[in-house]
Amino acid sequence: DSYKDNLETDVLIVGAGFGGIYLMHKLRQQGFNCKIFEAGKELGGIWHWNCYPGARVDTQIPIYEYSIPEVYEDWTWSERYPGFAELRKYFEHVDKKLDVKKDVAFETRVVGAQFDKPSAKWVIKTEDGRTARARYLLLATGFAAKRHFPDWMGMDKFKGEIHHSSFWPDAGVDVKGKRVAVVGTGSTGVQIAQETAKTAGSVTVFQRTPNLALPMQQKPISEDEQIKRKSDYPEIYKNRMTTFAGFQYDFLQRNTFDDSPEEREAFYEELFKNGGFEFWLANYKDLLFDKDANREAYNFWAKKARARITDPRKRDILAPLEPPHAFGTKRPSLEQNFYEMLDKPENDVVDIKATPIAEVTETSIKTEDGKHREFDVIALATGFDSVTGGMKNMGLRDVDGVDLAEKWKMGTWSYLGMTCSGYPNMFFLYGAQGPTAFSNGPSCVECQGDWIVDAMKKLKDEDIKYIDATHEAEEAWRKNVTELSDKTLFPGTSSWYMGANIPGKPREQLNYAGGIPLYEKECREALNNGFQGFVTA
């Protein structure tokens, strides 16, 4: 164990995924002492927790990796979109290069933290009863740290195996020849269904909302091909930060109806052929703003998906002619053979908007129409209390003892999506009111991480011991986040972006919808204008 009780450190980071490791690496270079507390047993964050069948990143390499030369220079991948096992190996490589683990305490879950004004230090409590004190508290807990379980009756009675995607047994689950149910059709549900169908006897997907899934266009990539490209990486990573979502491509600087129907069709085809998120994030620039433009894209998507499904009942459930929501206002999954797979007679899709799940019995899932469907394995791909759930679940108290869960009960308030008023010397990344869900993880982490490190360096240089965001700055940031979102089609759709997936959670935009370049500009201005929006002492 790398820490004792009563640990004292400059910086305590929570979470050893992309965010936490990046912060530690950059802060060490500035002479800060850092420790990471990590609830899991290994590095990798979501890639440590996610080992469900088919778990795979939806962003291409080398976009989905660190821009740190000593990490990328001698690392290569086997596929365009790597699976979780390879991502775990990547984190081992990162550890070798950056010597991360010596400063990580694993299986150490933070359950409470409060800033002590007299000593100007955070006092952090862990689940096993230990205490740490740190000048800075940095939260890198990601946006999916709190699982969402449905509350159906009888789940505990089920005699087969039932697992949430983020709690999948490390040893795997033998689905060979078995009857598998997958509940949920987010990115996770699509991946589990596709992968388990390779060996299972049957796969039944319980779908509440169709996933407007896009073709992944997965392909193996050779070592040679990657090595040849390494000299372009600095340029690739520089460009990454100039795009809306931190990718290698950006929205087209044309509107949908600027083109003739033939030109449009050809462009859509091209985006599908290129695969990945291109049809979402490299589409016409009015896609997420204009209803008619969006409908045009939806019609193309539906035509493509429907052509792959021969069973008319399944076709109408999976890819209805009327859009279930504006295209791209929920996250599209990347699929490989999802539609052909579900089209097979042994597999099925159940529309649980029409006939909701009533209960789970010893052997079956019963829907409200009285129908029982029997299963050996149930995969719950029901998602997370996304974006805010993790931070609300850590016992973080402000200087007056108010829990963040209380502060954020009626809605979310932060400044720059990295700080909270009343929580001095605390920074977070890849969370609420940052570019988080509308960006590539590593891009967001590096953009925000660099800002946090520069802010801390400036505090050190100017001998400032205390920094706290003002209420006014928070109010203005919340307004900014809301106004940016209100210009788009996002607010019209019930999604986890809007907090709408968790019963009782306030409905509000949880992410900054202005894109990474604008976000970076706004954050840099606050820093360059002498910590504008903060009180310092």
**Which residues of the chain form contacts with ligand NA7 (CB under 6 A)?**
144, 150, 165, 183-189, 208-209, 331, 352, 357, 381-384, 496, 501
Q: How far is the CB of 82 from ligand NA7 (least distance, A)?
A: 15
Q: How far is the CB of 331 from ligand NA7 (least distance, A)?
A: 4
Residue positions counted in the chain = 537
Residue 13 or 334: the one with the smaller Cβ distance to ligand NA7 is: 334
Alpha carbon of 306 to those of 107, 138, 333, 401: distances in Å? 46, 47, 16, 55
162 burial class (0-12, 13-18, 19+ CB within 10 angstroms)?
Answer: middle
Residue 126 or 386: the one with the smaller Cβ distance to ligand NA7 is: 386
- For residues 474 and 479, what is the distance between their CA atoms, to the nearest angstrom? 9
Q: How far is the CB of 150 from ligand NA7 (least distance, A)?
A: 3
- For residues 89 and 78, what is the distance between their CA atoms, to the nearest angstrom? 12
- Residue 123 forms beta bridges with which residues? 114, 133
Query: Residues near 518 by Cβ (< 8 Å), separated by ≥ 6?
Result: none
Q: How far is the CB of 488 from ligand NA7 (least distance, A)?
A: 17
- For residues 179 and 175, what is the distance between their CA atoms, to the nearest angstrom? 8
The type of residue at 376 is D
- Considering only CA atoms, which of 530, 469, 482, 502 is closest in space to residue 144? 502
Residue 421 or 448: the one with the smaller Cβ distance to ligand NA7 is: 448
Residue 95 or 385: the one with the smaller Cβ distance to ligand NA7 is: 385
- Helices 84-98 & 18-29, crossing angle to 10 degrees? 10
The type of residue at 444 is C
Q: How far is the CB of 364 from ligand NA7 (least distance, A)?
A: 16
Positions of E strands within 344-473: 348-351, 357-360, 364-367, 372-374, 377-380, 396-397, 426-428, 467-469
Q: How far is the CB of 6 from ligand NA7 (least distance, A)?
A: 37
Q: Are 535 and 459 in contact (CB under 8 A)?
A: no
Residue 113 or 145: the one with the smaller Cβ distance to ligand NA7 is: 145
Query: Residues near 511 by Cβ (< 8 Å), separated by ≥ 6?
Result: 387, 432, 433, 434, 435, 436, 437, 438, 481, 485, 497
Q: How far is the CB of 330 from ligand NA7 (least distance, A)?
A: 6
Residue 191 or 488: the one with the smaller Cβ distance to ligand NA7 is: 191
Phi, then psi, of 138 in degrees rounded to 5: -115, 125
HEC readout, 412-425: CCCECCCECCCCCC
Residue 189 or 417: the one with the smaller Cβ distance to ligand NA7 is: 189
Q: How far is the CB of 270 from ligand NA7 (least distance, A)?
A: 25
Residue 243 or 501: the one with the smaller Cβ distance to ligand NA7 is: 501
Q: How far is the CB of 334 from ligand NA7 (least distance, A)?
A: 10
Q: How far is the CB of 410 from ligand NA7 (least distance, A)?
A: 22
Q: How far is the CB of 189 from ligand NA7 (least distance, A)?
A: 6
Query: Residues near 330 by Cβ (< 8 Å), separated by ≥ 6?
Result: 209, 211, 212, 493, 495, 497
Residue 124 or 145: the one with the smaller Cβ distance to ligand NA7 is: 145
- For residues 43 and 107, what is the distance between their CA atoms, to the nearest angstrom? 11
- Considering only CA atoms, which of 39, 23, 54, 114 is closest in space to residue 390? 39
CA dihedral (175, 180, 182, 183) positive or negative: negative
Strand pairing class (214-215; 357-360): unpaired
**Nearest residue to the partner ligand NA7, using Cβ:** 186
Element (H, E) at 105: strand 104-105
Residue 317 or 381: the one with the smaller Cβ distance to ligand NA7 is: 381
Q: Are 206 and 357 in contact (CB under 8 A)?
A: yes
Q: How far is the CB of 382 from ligand NA7 (least distance, A)?
A: 4
Residue 101 or 505: the one with the smaller Cβ distance to ligand NA7 is: 505
SS3 at position 291: helix
Residue 185 or 419: the one with the smaller Cβ distance to ligand NA7 is: 185
Q: How far is the CB of 132 from ligand NA7 (least distance, A)?
A: 30
Residue 360 or 469: the one with the smaller Cβ distance to ligand NA7 is: 360
